[in-house]
Amino acid sequence: MATRNASAVWNGTLKEGNGTIKSESGVLTGAKYSFKTRFEEEKGTNPEELIGAAHAACFSMALSAGLGKAGYTPQSVETEAKVHLAAVEGGFKISKIELSTEAEADDLSDDEFQKIAEATKENCPVSVALKNVPIELKARLKQAN
């Protein structure tokens, strides 16, 4: 299978320094991050935002696949991931991730949809990689027209 690459450079001290992130694909080139973009409200990216984007993208694709495997045709899946960073003794940790998803599909009961969404939460590759973080899911089924 594929191996994906990204890199980061950090210059300076934790609070006064700054860094850049880049991805092999070129989608991220010189994306800036700093103490203030991570722990305060300054514009720029941070690791938690990138984890959230990765998790939302992975979950959306995996839910589409799960619906397809169950015999349903999804028209769309939209997912938001809120990644919570909490102060703990000795530093910080990602304390939980809240996934909120809305999928549009025909001829599917909400009960069946919830089962597929929950299985997706447990098994999408990013969820598996983040298995030590509590993941909460709110899933909404929108009937296709």
Same structural domain for residues 32 and 63?
Answer: no
pLDDT tens per residue across all 145 residues of the chain: 889 999 999 999 999 999 999 999 999 998 999 999 999 989 999 999 999 999 999 999 999 999 999 999 999 999 999 999 999 999 999 999 999 999 999 889 999 999 999 999 999 999 999 999 999 999 999 976 6
Query: Is residue 115 a part of any domain in this protein?
Result: yes
Same structural domain for residues 92 and 134?
Answer: yes
Q: What distance in Å separates the CA atoms of residue 2 and residue 39, rounded to the nearest whole number?
A: 33
What are the structure tokens assigned to 11, written together?
């210059």
Q: Is 121 helix (H, G, I), strand (E, B) or coil?
A: helix
Same structural domain for residues 28 and 98?
Answer: no
- How many independent structural domains does the chain possess? 2
Domain containing 25 equals 6-39
pTM of the predicted model as reported, rounded to 2 decimal places: 0.93
Of 31, 124, 39, whose CA–CA distance to 81 is shortest? 124
The H-assigned helical ranges of 40-109 are 47-69
Same structural domain for residues 115 and 136?
Answer: yes
pLDDT value at position 143? Answer: 76
pLDDT value at position 96? Answer: 98
Same structural domain for residues 62 and 35?
Answer: no
